[in-house]
């Protein structure tokens, strides 16, 4: 079980936080991460419209052959994305905890501009203690 | 646990086959267009309902699931039940391709996109080396259905489409639908333990 990375995407589809943990996935440039986050934002909107069975949420889990992308959408439209190994079962709990930390360390910070990149040492430290190196 | 629908795309990004089973939100037929010459109501009198897209591909679907409009509707009307079929097929294809590229980029290897899940459904992808994409929508709780899509490929698809001299494989005008293929896919899917 491993956590490879964490992204925070604002309600407009911009990547406001990105951090890598365990090795295993390709290391991309920050521009590439921005593009992927934007794509994911679009896909999320489309997937909720493709439902064959009435209304649906957007995509929640995307699986590849060796990793999966867990997406947690808050009521305010911010998306928390966690890249984990396929066997990982803790993603939902971790994302919920990340949301708690985000609320405490980012939203309550008077120096933070909403929808802008997160540059907060407190947030970094607390995410670091929650996820560590990403290996369990 | 159930299976909703199956889409097959060729390497030209066109949907060449569609079939659905349990679906509470039926696809709406594409409003008649002039491009493919199917605008006249008499073109729909075949025993099987035909969905045509604006790109000119004719895709048949199983009987009795939709009632096509008797008279051509203007292109802009979209029924409240959902998107017109060709719009939906294009969205499915777009999502699948974007996710496939995203997974490849993130993994840094040639890793395949396998499936994704929302609260209401799960989408599975199987891609052949020749570029055919088999996409299946199922209940969100089902396990990976990749093996089923592979079975559709190595069974019915090879037998009744690839080895069928009457099917034009790279035709950009008609899908690959034929009775044997449809019946065979139907039997295969209905025989699955996840189908109920």
In CATH, what number is assigned to the domain containing residue B131?
3.30.450.70
CB neighbour class for A113 (10 Å; exposed up to 12, middle 13-18, buried from 19): exposed
> How many whole angstroms separate alpha carbon B27 and alpha carbon B88?
8
What's the rounded Cα separation, in Å, for the pair B7 and A111? 50
Q: Is residue B195 part of a domain?
A: no
pLDDT under 50: residue ranges of chain B: 33-47, 64-81
Residue A136 lies inside a defined structural domain of this protein:
no
Interface pTM (ipTM) of the complex? 0.91
Q: Which helix (H) or strand (E) holds B51?
A: strand B49-52
Q: What is the pLDDT of residue A100?
A: 94
Any domain includes B196:
no
What pLDDT score does B49 carry?
60
A77-136 residues touching B, CB cutoff 8 A? 83
- Number of folded domains that form chain B: 1
In a domain, A67, yes or no: yes
Q: Closest Cα of chain A to B54: distance in Å?
A: 19
Burial of A82 (0-12, 13-18, 19+ CB in 10 A): buried
Q: Closest residue of B to A62, CA-based?
A: B116
Do the chains contact at A56 and B107, CB–CB below 8 Å? Answer: no
| Any domain includes B157 | yes
Instruction: Give the pLDDT confidence score for residue B110 in this predicted structure.
Output: 87
Dihedral sign computed on CA atoms, order B93, B98, B101, B107: negative
Taking the C-alpha atoms of residue A80 and residue A120, their distance in angstroms, rounded to an integer, is 17
Residue A68 maps to a domain: yes
Domain interval for residue B80: 3-190
Structural domain contains residue A81: yes
Question: Which residue range is the domain that position A116 belongs to?
Answer: 3-131
The neighbouring-strand residues paired with B138 are B3, B122
* Residue A109 DSSP code: -
Q: Residue B141: which residues within 8 A CB-CB, separation 6 or more?
A: B1, B122
Q: Which residue of A has its CA nearest to B111?
A: A65
Average pLDDT, chain B: 77
Rounded distance between C-alpha atoms, residue A7 and residue A4, angstroms: 10
Q: Rounded CA gap, A6 and B102, in Å? A: 15
Within-domain flag for B52:
yes
- Tell me which DSSP letter residue A2 carries: B
Contact A86, A66 (CB under 8 A): yes
The tally of domains found in chain A comes to: 1
User: Tell me, what's the pLDDT at B39?
Assistant: 39
pLDDT of B86: 80
How far is the alpha carbon of A32 from chain B, nearest alpha carbon, in Å?
9
Best probe of the A interface among B19, B106, B123, B125, by most A CBs < 10 A, is B106
Those residues whose C-beta lies under 8 Å from the C-beta of residue B150, and which sit 6 or more positions away, are B126
Mark the ranges of chain A whose per-residue pLDDT is less than 70.
136
Distances (CA, A) of B155 to B40, B149, B151, B159, B189: 36, 10, 6, 6, 12
Tell me how far the alpha carbon of residue A50 is from its chain's centroid: 23
User: Which CATH number covers residue A106?
Assistant: 3.30.450.70
């Amino acid at each position: 079980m491993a956590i490879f990375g964490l992204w925070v995407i604002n309600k407009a589809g911009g990547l406001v936080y990105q951090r890598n943990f365990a090795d295993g996935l390709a290391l991309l440039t920050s521009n590439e991460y921005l593009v992927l986050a934007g794509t994911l934002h679009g896909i999320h909107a489309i997937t909720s419209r493709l439902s064959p069975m009435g209304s649906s949420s957007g995509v929640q889990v995307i699986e590849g052959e060796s990793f999966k992308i867990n997406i947690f959408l808050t009521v305010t439209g911010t998306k928390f994305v966690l890249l984990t190994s396929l066997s990982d079962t803790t993603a939902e709990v971790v994302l919920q905890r990340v949301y708690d930390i985000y609320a405490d360390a980012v939203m309550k910070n008077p120096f933070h501009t909403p929808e802008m990149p997160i540059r907060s040492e407190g947030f970094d430290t607390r995410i670091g203690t929650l996820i560590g190196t990403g290996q369990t | 646990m159930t299976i909703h629908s199956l889409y097959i795309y060729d390497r030209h990004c066109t949907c060449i086959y569609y079939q659905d089973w349990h679906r509470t939100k039926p696809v709406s037929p594409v409003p008649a267009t002039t491009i493919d010459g199917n605008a006249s109501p008499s073109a729909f009198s075949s025993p099987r309902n035909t969905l045509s897209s604006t790109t000119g591909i004719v895709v048949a679907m199983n009987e009795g699931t939709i009632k096509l409009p008797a008279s051509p509707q203007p292109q802009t009307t979209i029924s409240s039940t959902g998107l017109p079929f060709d719009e939906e097929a294009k969205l499915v294809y777009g999502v699948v391709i974007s996710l496939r590229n995203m997974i490849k980029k993130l993994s840094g290897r040639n890793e395949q996109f396998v499936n994704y899940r929302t609260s209401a459904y799960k989408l599975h992808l199987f891609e052949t080396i020749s570029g055919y994409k088999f996409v299946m929508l199922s209940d969100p709780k089902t396990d990976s259905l990749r093996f089923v899509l592979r079975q559709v490929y190595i069974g019915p698809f090879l037998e009744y489409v690839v080895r069928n001299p009457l099917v034009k494989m790279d035709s950009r005008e008609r899908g690959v639908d034929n009775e044997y293929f449809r019946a065979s896919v139907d039997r295969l899917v209905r025989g699955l333990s996840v189908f109920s």
